[in-house]
Structure 1
Amino acid sequence: MSSPPDAGIARAHLRVARPTDNLDVLLHFYEAGLGFSVLFRFADHAGFNGVMLGHPSADYHLEFTSNREHSVGRCPT
Structure 2
Amino acid sequence: DTYGTGTRSEADLIAAVRKVFDLRPAGIIKMLNLKRPIYEPTAAYGHFGRTDVELPWEQLDKVEELKKVLG
TM-score scaled by length of structure 1: 0.24
As a proportion of its length, which structure holds more strand? 1
As a proportion of its length, which structure holds more helix? 2
TM-score scaled by length of structure 2: 0.25
